[in-house]
Every structure is written in C-alpha cells, then in structure tokens.
Structure 1
Amino acid sequence: MTINRPTPTLKEIRLDPEKIIVSKTDTKGVILYGNDYFCEISGYKESELISSPHNIIRHPDMPKTLFYLMWEHLHAGRSIVAIVKNMAKNGDFYWVVTDFDIKRDITGDIKYYIAYRKSAPRYVIPEVEKLYATLREIEKEHGMKAGVVYLESFLEDKRVNYDQFIENLIKSQDIKSNFLEKIKSWF
C-alpha cells in the first residue's frame, strides 16, 4: 500500500497527559483499531486508519533502527517500551512513550498487538533526539545494520538494554508502571 506522506512541519502537538492513545495491529503492523484520541491526535478518520499500515504516522526523524528493534522484540513475543516521534496527517508531530501488549490465541501464537501511548516527558526528548539523530546519520551513511550495531554498542556502554535505557530516562515520573498497567487491564 502506498502512503501519501505529509510534509513534516515544525509544529508540535501537545498531548493531554491524562489521555492515552490506543491502537491495535495485526502481526504485520496493519491497524485493526484506533481509539478516538488516536484519531483526534493523528488527524486521520477511523476509516483512514483501519487497514492501513501503522507506519502511516511514522515521522521521518525516526531511525529505522528503532523500528527494527521494536519488531524484533514483538515478533519474538517480548514487549518493548519506546519513545517515538509520530507525525499527524497535517505534518505536525507529537512525542509519545509507547508500551505494547502482546495478545495470543489459545495455542500461544501471537494474534495481535495493542500499543498504549502517553505523552513523553519533556525532559527525555533532548537525549532521545540526540540518539535518534546519530542513528539516522549512521543509517544514511552505512545502512540500518550499522545503526543496529551502533545502538547495541551505545546500550552496552551504558550496561543496559533499550527498555532499561528508556525506563531509566522516565523513571522519576513513573510514567509506565501504574497508569499504563491500569489502562491495559481495560482491554
């Protein structure tokens, strides 16, 4: 499916810190469901989102390496927490902390993923932007595999995995634990 991508703007959409963006995708990343807040923030109608690839909201500032890492985790049945810059239909952007819930059928096969997104804390964005800019530059010069190698080395130097890196960045606000766990129980 060809996606007509908007031209990115420099305008940030500030998310309501009390609201959660929820989407459900199949194992290939095709959107099966999006809550009203997802439609509101992304600027897409529900009918435009359903059956579209989730990368319809991917901002070009996001490194391919991060999505490779996310899909590697999800396909292996492991959740991941990520800070992501998304792009609305009009080109505006918004930063989110994304957590995934992996849903399985009775045989244990993965059926679909539910993503829960909340406004990313302002103080983590500069550090994440710096890392993502470095990854994009490496990808541009040497390809995504080099970006993956760099990210692995970056995390190894900090003696953490990606989840731990992100959780350490947001720990003081405890954005993930209580609120997202409560929301996840609703689905």
Structure 2
Amino acid sequence: MSFKSAFHLPFACLFTFSIFLTLNALCALASDPIDRRLAYVIDITRHGSRAPKYQDDLNATEVYYEEPEGEITPLGQRQLYLRGREIRRRYIDQTYFLKAQYDPEELEVHSAFTQRCLASAQSFILGLYPPGTAEPYNPKIDSFPPFSLDNLQLLISPYQDKFRPLPRLVPIQL
C-alpha cells in the first residue's frame, strides 16, 4: 500500500478512453417530427476515477491508494459499470434500440491501450451486457471473449501519414 494525496476528481483527467457505441442521439432531420427516429448513438466516455499520477500533491487531504499511480480505482470501475447499466436501461430495456444479447454488428468499443482505459471499457461492457445476457454456451466453440477492445493504433492505422494529431489548446497571449 502506498501513501498518496486524495486530490483527484473522478473525471478531471484527460480523455484517454472513448467508447464509441453504434448508438448517438442522431435523429434523421425530417421536416415532420413523426418521421424522426433514433438512427445512431455515440457515447464517448473517459476512464473512471483513478489514483493520482504523482505522490507530491500539496493537498491537505491524504489517502492511501492500493492502486499504482494513475491506475483506475474500484470507484472508477463502479462508475463505468453504472454508466453501462444506464446505457442498457435506455437503449435495450426502454427503446429496444440494441438487442438484449451482444451483437458485434451493433456495437463497437474502442479504448486507448492503457490498463486504466481497458479496465474502464471492461467495466462499462459488464454493465451494458451483464453475466447471464449472453447466448447459451456452445461446447463446439472454443472459449473466446464475448467482445473485443480495439487498440487506438488500429483506429488510426488506415490514415497512416494522413493522420495529424490535433494541436493542444493554449491560452491566448495578449
């Protein structure tokens, strides 16, 4: 167990984890409201609450973290699990937009390739498709995970030299 400062906000970190669901509230812009229907949803989420990335925080509140610096905490995993449950309630249980069982044609999950981001994505998926919602076990199929988490490099590889990172926002100097 290591001694670290408690100064961290649950979502005060940079966006490193993004979940792209084949779902966002993008309605067909029809002139008649009756013609509108949910066509696509994107839910972009960052990783959950994490331990501070440095030890020398001058904040007066002190807490012990069992997690290594910068890694997701149990609270952070719970945050993403609850987010997955909320998305399930909204898009599976209420609107039937997604199937109750995971379908790779309906859902894509993308995550940065860091431990805290992968753990956050896994927690989110466990909330969205909890145990017991999968298809019945088929002994003819070798064991494999019910979903895949794609690496960020796989997302940008088709762009190769055309990919340019966005510049950081900096204060305007007058």
TM-score when scaled to structure 1?
A: 0.23
TM-score when scaled to structure 2?
A: 0.24
> Which one has the bigger helix percentage?
1
Q: Which has the larger radius of gyration?
A: 2
> Which one has the bigger strand percentage?
1
